[in-house]
Amino acid sequence: MPAGDAASAGGDDSMTAFWSRILVAVTALPFVLGLVWLGGWWLLALAAAGALVALHELYHMTRSHRPLVLAGYAGALAALLGAHLGGPEWMMAGFFSTFALAFLLKGIADTRSSTTISVGTTILGAGWIGLGLGHVLLLRAIPEDGRLVALTVLLAVFASDTAAYFTGRLLGRHKLAPRTSPGKTWEGFIAGTAVAVAVPFFALYDQDFLDIWRSLVLGAAIAVAAPIGDLFESQIKRDVNVKDSGRLLGGHGGVLDRIDAHLFAAVAAFYAVLALS
């Protein structure tokens, strides 16, 4: 293919991915926010579905490590159910069941793969995804203000990611982590940080929940945790030599690609709220 045709094809692919991202965001975001607004079993069902799909993507990417898939699924779902029914203590109890299930299934499977790698990959998935989404449930369960806080955190992460993406595309010149995620720039990070701090400030400062400085601290916690979550997944994808965790969400990649920042930000936000309120 001539160089000009190749460049044109690359540009077409880029624009297709761009509009795909827009379409998925416009259609999926209201649905997700609606279930967060409803809370209860509706939100648990959404978190469980997201966890299963994200775990499937992770275990497919790391299949050479022989993860114990059923143990990972069961542990993540147990963590989510525990968070919904009993709070942090029951969430952790559900997650810890992954250890016993993974070792049990490893013994039954009797494969030649390393126990450390196989079980470690299994537990990584259940902890990273199950506990990350479990903290979204914990945020929503905060007495009286849970709905406001959960929506604020999710919107802050989404808005921060969007600002970083578009700023990086338009103005990005300096790579943030060129070895881990070449597409991310310092310009995008600064824009994303500003938005992540601004969203909690405007959403919470006049709601008799957090005062101005506490709202800013919460925003700063989200601003730091969200890109770390994104870079964490990027490093895993780099290790297993894949570009996206899946193709379910078009230009967004897979479900894990879409929620990676939320998995870290929800944890940071929950404990920030506990410390500040």
Torsion of CA 70, 72, 73, 74, to 10 degrees: 80
Residue partners of 235: CB distance under 8 A and separation at least 6: 180
pTM of the predicted protein model: 0.89
> Given this model, what pLDDT does residue 96 score?
97
Radius of gyration of the chain (CA): 19
Question: What are 161's two structure tokens?
Answer: 């990611």
What 3-state class would DSSP assign to 185? strand
> Given this model, what pLDDT does residue 141 score?
96
Q: Count CA within 13 A, CB hemisphere, residue 248.
A: 14
How big is the CA angle at 181 (ends 199 and 118), to the nearest 5 degrees?
105
With residue 209 as reference, give the H or E element that holds it. none
Q: Buried b / exposed e across 61-98, counting CB within 10 Å, b at 16+?
A: bbeebbbbbebbbbbbbbbbbbbbeeebebbbebbbbb
CA 145 from centroid of its chain's CA atoms = 22
> Given this model, what pLDDT does residue 27 score?
82
> Given this model, what pLDDT does residue 169 score?
85
> Given this model, what pLDDT does residue 252 score?
66
Distances (CA, A) of 107 to 77, 100, 119, 127: 22, 11, 11, 21
What 3-state class would DSSP assign to 139? helix
With contact defined as beta carbons under 8 Å apart, do 122 and 76 qualify?
no
Q: Per-residue confidence of the chain (277 residues) as pLDDT tens digits?
A: 444 444 443 444 555 556 666 776 778 889 999 999 999 999 999 999 999 999 999 999 999 999 999 999 999 999 999 999 999 999 999 999 999 999 999 888 766 778 899 999 999 999 999 999 999 999 999 998 999 999 999 999 999 998 998 898 889 888 988 888 888 899 999 999 999 999 999 998 777 788 889 999 999 999 999 999 999 999 999 999 988 887 776 666 789 999 999 999 999 999 999 999 8
